[in-house]
Structures are given as C-alpha cells and as structure tokens.
Chains A and B, each alone.
Chain A
Amino acid sequence: KQEVTQIPAALSVPEGENLVLNCSFTDSAIYNLQWFRQDPGKGLTSLLLIQSSQREQTSGRLNASLDKSSGRSTLYIAASQPGDSATYLCAVQGGSEKLVFGKGMKLTVNP
C-alpha cells in the first residue's frame, strides 16, 4: 500500500527565504508525482507534475525534483513571499489512476 509522508507538518519563515519542502513515498512504482497548493477552505491548485521518467520540473520560482528510486521529492520555493502562505500537498499516482496524498505542510511566510 502506497504511503506518502510530508515532514514537517508546518513551517513558519520570514519573507525572502528559500524553502525546501520534502515528500517521501513508500512504493517507487509510480507514474507521476504532483505538487499542489491549497488555500484555506479552497480546492487544490496544481503547481507541478513530474513524470516518473523525469528528474525535475520548474515553474517560475518553483522547482520540483524527483528521485524515484529513493522515494523522495522536494519542492524548492525561491525568495518566498507572504502570498506563498498555504498548505502544500504532495501526491503520487500509480497504476490505479488515483492520487495518494500526503497530509500536507502548512507554510506561513511572515512579512
């Protein structure tokens, strides 16, 4: 059974810091890994999708890497801003098409 872990559960940083969010998964037989952002009371916004054959993806200030063999992914946020405050979720997709999510990391960026 696939399990996804995100540690720590919460992080509070001053504005401008570069951040690394971690995600680990137990079964390396995945098709892709997605990083999402969730604002309070809202749905999920897809940030980046990394296919199993890829090592990393970039979008603006975000960079996500994937090491499938070790079951790890990181989301790098450069020059954090208060608007980046949200819960960040990592999810992996295997052969059953469903996404298996971590419990998320609540990020607070203080001005």
Chain B
Amino acid sequence: KNEVEQSPQNLTAQEGEFITINCSYSVGISALHWLQQHPGGGIVSLFMLSSGKKKHGRLIATINIQEKHSSLHITASHPRDSAVYICAVRIIKTAGNKLTFGGGTRVLVKP
C-alpha cells in the first residue's frame, strides 16, 4: 500500500461544477503539498499545508492531521483547470526534506 493515496484517479466535470480531490496518507507528516501539473509537464505548487485550511482564488485546500486526510477543492471549475493534481507529503524524520507523492488525479473540465 502506498503511503500517499489519492482519489479519484480521474475526474471529468462540466464547467462551473465544484470539484473535490482527496488525499490520504498513512504516516506522520510535517507538511503536505498540493501541486498542479499541466499537459506540457510544468508543475506549479498550489499550497503547502501543515494544518487547517488555505484559500487562493477558486482553490481551497484543507487538511485534517488527526484523520491523515487532505482535500483540494476547485470552485466554479473552468476548462483551464484541466490538469493533473498531485498530493505530496513531507514525512516526519525523512532525511533531506524529501517529498513522497501520490499518484495524481487527472482532472478534465469540459466547456
């Protein structure tokens, strides 16, 4: 079993719909990242969380440390949100501040 699991693996939504992507992890972490990878390959760091909730534009990320779970929400989704969203965690006591990645969620927003 992977230490970081994302669901769903694939998601198709109509423009304007509310999207939720989930990330569960099985280890103690010091931080959790949500990343966005566009079809061209470039990766953008959306959020880094260690507790609570963060909001940036139409994106909201939450984390529940006790339940070892984080969600990324996209409100009023748009075709330009189509990308792969990756959850990555920094495991406590991991040397070198390495990140452990989930498998990604491929999101397609149709107009």
Q: Do A and B bind each other?
A: no
Which residues of A does B touch, CB under 8 Å? none
Which residues of B does A touch, CB under 8 Å? none
